[in-house]
Chain A
Amino acid sequence: MTLLSTFFAAIICTVIWYRNAPKDDMKVGILCWLYWGASLMWLVDAIFEYAEVRAEYFTPAPADMLNDLFLGLSVIALGLIIWLVILLIKDPKGVVKNALSRGKH
């Protein structure tokens, strides 16, 4: 479930990035790297787990599935927080800079 959630997040972010390309004012590319990197790594984890437990891999206990889904959503939230922090620090549209300079006057 964690792999699946991250995988879908990566696909959605890539579609959004492609739709706005070559402009990347919102730095959606950062989210693509984050989620694709994690998806690839969890894919390896899943392959190793499948090699160990075989078909059982596809029939997880409901409690495990729920926990994995919860983890997947938390991972997506963490990715969004990392992206938001980078976006506000880099401030490509100068919104934060303008807001701060307006506050001085």
Chain B
Amino acid sequence: MACFLIPTVEAIAVTALAKVMESKEVSRDIAKVQKDSESLEVAGKVPFSRKLKWLRNLLWGGSALLAFEHVWHGEVVPWFPFLTAAADPADAAEMLHEMATIGVTMAVLVTAVWGVMLAVSSSVEKRASKVQPAEN
């Protein structure tokens, strides 16, 4: 009924967070590794703001296409209150239940998949940083 609203809210929050992180990471895209009192620069570490953008893209992409599906089924309309279920208290209760169950699970699954992507990315970065000093 309106389950896509939960991932949309998360997408808005993640977009804002990514913007904040990006402005903080201006000069931190190159990690410094100390070796024998020399500073060795290792490029290639993906900034966290970029990783947050992966989650943002997944959430916005999914929410946009799901919103279309809700328009298709007549659950979202271009006039107030925009959600057809919101006009009737019984339907509104069902809608809120759906948001709390399906909507939250959607947001959790997408975030969990992003978590797996983070784990894979960090293991690749660790492997790269181990190989880098040996090559130099």
Residues of A within 8 A of B (CB): 2, 6, 30, 33-45, 47-48, 71, 74-75, 78-79, 82
In terms of DSSP, what is the predominant structure of the interface of chain A?
Answer: helix
Contact B64 A41 (CB under 8 A): no
5 other A-B residue contacts (CB within 8 Å) besides A37-B63, A79-B65: A41-B7, A41-B109, A45-B3, A78-B68, A82-B64
Chain B residues whose CB sits within 8 angstroms of the CB of A79 once the complex forms = 61, 65
Tell me, rounded to whole Å, the shortest Cβ–Cβ distance linking B84 to chain A.
Answer: 17
Residue B113 interfacial (CB < 8 Å): yes
| Per-residue interface assignment for chain B, residues 33 to 65, with 1 indicating a CB less than 8 Å from any chain A CB and 0 otherwise | 000000000000000000000100111111111
Interface residues, chain B, CB within 8 Å of chain A?
3-4, 7, 54, 57-66, 68-69, 72, 101-102, 105-106, 109-110, 113
Whether B109 contacts A37 by the Cβ 8 Å rule is: no
Task: For the complex of A and B, list the 4 residue pairs with the smallest distance between their C-beta atoms, beginning with the closest.
Answer: A37-B62, A37-B61, A34-B61, A33-B57
- Partner of B59 from the list A6, A37, A45, A71 (CB cut-off 8 Å) is A37
Contact A71/B72 with A33-B58, A43-B109, A48-B101 known, Cβ cut-off 8 Å: yes
With a cutoff of 8 Å between Cβ atoms, the chain A residues found around residue B102 in the complex are: 44-45, 48
Q: Give me 19 A-to-B residue pairs in the complex whose CB atoms sit less than 8 angstroms apart, sorted by A's number.
A: A6-B65, A30-B57, A33-B54, A33-B60, A35-B61, A35-B65, A36-B58, A37-B58, A37-B62, A38-B66, A40-B106, A40-B113, A41-B109, A43-B109, A44-B102, A44-B106, A48-B101, A74-B68, A82-B64
